[in-house]
């Protein structure tokens, strides 16, 4: 838990662009492809050597570190080859902007699906498995008691002030204090991480990430599976359970920290984000959770955009060293792929993989079939003409896992505690997606690292509280109608007795009136 929490820095949105020279295609289509892809943004990808490490790291994913990265510095000067096709000075700026927007829009879509999936998993779990809405072993309706598990104890270290206070003011104060503690823990851990990174303690960081992902993939999955089985009253013996959890966890560790199919890695990242979000929803006290959401989006804004923010410093350090920034905790929507040369023999072209991109499949280089495991980057062979240099391209947009987690916490809490039921949940869902869309478009426009949380969480909070209160007033008003109808049903008979009907608030009142009706008769 400490590890998981500790890795909470702030989420980020980050895009890469690179160039691909696909020499086995006809030259004109090559340029079209290049134009399209290269126009992504003027932000660039690190040079090929670093992309390889970046890719390794890409497959790492663990724990709950939301990340913010900076998408931005201009490699233009460093590597003129990088924009042979797009971003060329000769291109009219209007066209470039248009393509930029088109690319921004494309990434919006690429991220909608995983964010939606994560939220669906969390909402489905909240609505069906009672465990995650129980507070410390007590069912909200008092139907029974269950012992909560140890994680409750560890999370209450971060939120020691109870919300079980007599007055509203005290409760608010306690939740603000809890938030302060939580945010300071997050800030401290982030700074610790930055310091570790600055002093190149990579082994420590990797060990930390591995421990976090081990905990998420094994312990939390075990708890989750146990609760789901309990909810649906399905019996599972321990050997089967062990086998299932072991397989799930082991494959997850391999996919996230080493190599694996992109879709599987994405699926695992979504699942661990959902698990982490469920833990937060269960163990954070109610008001504290909302205040924490607000505070963390403010922190995100401050930390990304201020010059001395820890994450910004981290990003800059990584860029100075030309290394990718902790790809371990980042969801990537496309894989890195290497492009082979036309004259290479087929065996080396086995290293080709295609980015998961339906649009690109329209081009002629989808003849290589399904993308497989991301492979090691092949160094360019000497003796080939300069134009045919092998390039590695990283496409797609990256979103930190913390973004997934906090979006899902928002929507999950709306599902768990919203009095408007599905309306509140849907409103928050739409709000988060709108915020994400705006953030990605701003990213395309401003071309620098942007925090992914503030806009979405702000909209989400506004929508939650307004929809919640709207439903409250609606519900109170709606109660008048059924009451009136009941009056009409019994009204005739009661008029006979001359009894005056009041609003039927309890059944006892009705019984009383009925008794009065019958007695004179």
Partner 1 sequence: MTAAVFFGCAFIAFGPALALYIFTIATEPLRVIFLIIGKASEGLKTINPDETAPSMRLLAYVSGLGFGIMSGVFSFVNTLSDSLGPGTVGIHGDSPQFFLNSAFMTLVIILLHVFWGIIFFDGCEKKKWSALLVVLLTHLLVSALTFISPHYGINLVSTYIIVVLMGIWAFFVAGGSCRSLKLCLLCQDKDFLLFNQRSR
Contact footprint for partner 1 (CB under 8 A) = 94, 97-98, 101-102, 104-106, 108-109, 420-423, 426-427, 430, 437, 441, 445, 485-486, 489
Structure tokens that stand for 370 in this block: 């399904």
Considering the complex, state which of residue 279 and residue 426 has its C-beta at the smaller distance from partner 1: 426
**Which is the catalytic residue, given 75, 357, 363, 403?**
403
Q: Calculate the alpha carbon distances from 264 to 38, 56, 66, 409, 410 in Å.
A: 27, 15, 20, 23, 25
457: helix, strand or coil? helix
CB of 444 to partner 1, least distance (A): 9
Considering the complex, state which of residue 207 and residue 482 has its C-beta at the smaller distance from partner 1: 482
Say how far apart CA 316 and CA 311 lie, in whole Å.
Answer: 8
Considering the complex, state which of residue 172 and residue 442 has its C-beta at the smaller distance from partner 1: 442
CB of 430 to partner 1, least distance (A): 7
Structure tokens that stand for 186 in this block: 């997050």
Contact present, 61 and 330 (Cβ < 8 Å):
yes
403 is known as an active-site residue:
yes
Say how far apart CA 10 and CA 449 lie, in whole Å.
Answer: 12
421 is known as an active-site residue:
no
337: helix, strand or coil? strand
Phi, psi for residue 128 in degrees, rounded to 5: -105, -35
Considering the complex, state which of residue 158 and residue 429 has its C-beta at the smaller distance from partner 1: 429
78: helix, strand or coil? coil
Structure tokens that stand for 521 in this block: 């008769």
Structure tokens that stand for 396 in this block: 């797609």
CB of 419 to partner 1, least distance (A): 11
Say how far apart CA 125 and CA 278 lie, in whole Å.
Answer: 8
Considering the complex, state which of residue 272 and residue 437 has its C-beta at the smaller distance from partner 1: 437
Considering the complex, state which of residue 488 and residue 519 has its C-beta at the smaller distance from partner 1: 488
Structure tokens that stand for 213 in this block: 């992902």
- CB count in 10 Å sphere of residue 92: 8
- CB count in 10 Å sphere of residue 156: 16
Burial class of residue 235 (count of CB atoms within 10 Å of its CB; 0-12, 13-18, 19+): exposed
3-state DSSP helix/strand/coil % of the chain, to nearest 5: 65, 5, 35
CB of 94 to partner 1, least distance (A): 6
Contact present, 123 and 411 (Cβ < 8 Å):
yes
Q: CA torsion sign, 495 to 496 to 498 to 504?
A: negative
Structure tokens that stand for 59 in this block: 């497959």
Considering the complex, state which of residue 379 and residue 491 has its C-beta at the smaller distance from partner 1: 491
- CB count in 10 Å sphere of residue 426: 18
232: helix, strand or coil? coil
**Which is the catalytic residue, given 60, 71, 75, 300?**
300
CB of 26 to partner 1, least distance (A): 23
CB of 101 to partner 1, least distance (A): 6
DSSP per-residue letters across 385-397: -GGG---EEE-SE
Determine the longest span between alpha carbons in the chain, in angstroms: 112
Considering the complex, state which of residue 470 and residue 499 has its C-beta at the smaller distance from partner 1: 470
Q: List beta partners, residue 190.
A: none
Q: What is the chain's alpha carbon radius of gyration, rounded to the nearest angstrom?
A: 28
CB of 160 to partner 1, least distance (A): 37
Terminal Cα-to-Cα distance of the chain (whole angstroms): 71
Nearby residues of 137 by Cβ (< 8 Å), 6 or more positions away: 145, 146, 147, 148, 152
Task: Just list the catalytic residues.
Answer: 300, 403
């Amino acid at each position: 838990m400490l590890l998981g929490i500790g890795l909470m820095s702030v989420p980020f949105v980050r895009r890469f662009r690179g160039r691909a020279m696909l020499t086995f295609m006809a030259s004109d289509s090559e340029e079209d492809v290049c134009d399209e892809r290269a126009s992504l943004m003027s932000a660039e990808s690190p040079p090929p050597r670093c992309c390889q490490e970046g890719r390794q790291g890409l497959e790492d994913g663990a724990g709950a570190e939301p990340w913010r990265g900076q998408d931005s510095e201009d490699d233009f000067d460093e590597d003129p080859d990088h924009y042979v096709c797009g971003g060329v000075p000769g291109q009219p700026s209007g066209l470039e902007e248009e393509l930029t927007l088109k690319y921004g829009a494309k990434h919006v879509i690429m991220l909608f699906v995983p964010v939606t999936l994560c939220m669906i998993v969390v909402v489905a779990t909240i609505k069906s498995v009672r465990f995650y809405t129980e507070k410390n072993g007590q069912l909200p309706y008092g139907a029974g008691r269950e012992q909560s598990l140890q994680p409750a104890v560890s999370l209450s270290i971060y939120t020691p002030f109870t919300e079980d206070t007599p007055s509203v003011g005290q409760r608010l104060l306690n939740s603000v204090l809890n938030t302060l503690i939580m945010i300071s823990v997050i800030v401290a851990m982030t700074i610790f991480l930055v310091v570790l990174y600055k002093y190149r303690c990579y082994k420590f960081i990797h060990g930390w990430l591995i421990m976090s992902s081990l905990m998420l993939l094994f312990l939390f999955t075990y708890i989750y599976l146990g609760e789901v089985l309990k909810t649906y009253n399905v019996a599972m013996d321990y050997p089967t359970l062990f086998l299932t959890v072991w397989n799930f966890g082991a494959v997850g560790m391999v996919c996230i920290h080493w190599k694996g199919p992109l879709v599987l890695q994405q699926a695992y990242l979504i699942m661990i984000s959902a698990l982490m979000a469920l833990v937060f929803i269960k163990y954070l006290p109610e008001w504290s959770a909302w205040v924490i959401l607000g505070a963390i989006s403010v922190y995100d804004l401050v930390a990304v955009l201020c010059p001395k923010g820890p994450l910004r410093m981290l990003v800059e350090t990584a860029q100075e060293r030309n290394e990718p920034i902790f790809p371990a905790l980042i969801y990537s929507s496309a894989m890195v792929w290497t492009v082979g040369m036309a004259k290479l023999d087929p065996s080396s072209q086995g290293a080709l993989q295609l980015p998961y991109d339906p649009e690109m499949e329209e081009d002629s280089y989808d003849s290589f079939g399904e993308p497989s495991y991301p492979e090691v980057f092949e160094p360019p062979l000497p003796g080939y003409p300069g134009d045919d240099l092998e390039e590695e391209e990283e496409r797609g947009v990256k979103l930190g896992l913390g973004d997934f987690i906090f979006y899902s916490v928002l929507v999950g809490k709306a599902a768990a505690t919203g009095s408007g039921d599905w309306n509140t949940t849907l409103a928050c869902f739409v709000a988060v997606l709108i915020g994400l869309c705006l953030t990605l478009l701003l990213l395309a426009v401003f071309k620098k690292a942007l925090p992914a949380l503030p806009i979405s969480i702000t909209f989400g909070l506004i929508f939650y509280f307004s929809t919640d209160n709207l439903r409250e007033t609606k519900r109170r008003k709606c109660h008048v109608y059924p009451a009136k109808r009941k009056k009409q049903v019994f009204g005739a008979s009661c008029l006979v007795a001359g009894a005056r009907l009041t609003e039927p608030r309890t059944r006892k009142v009705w019984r009383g009136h009925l008794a009065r009706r019958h007695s004179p008769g």
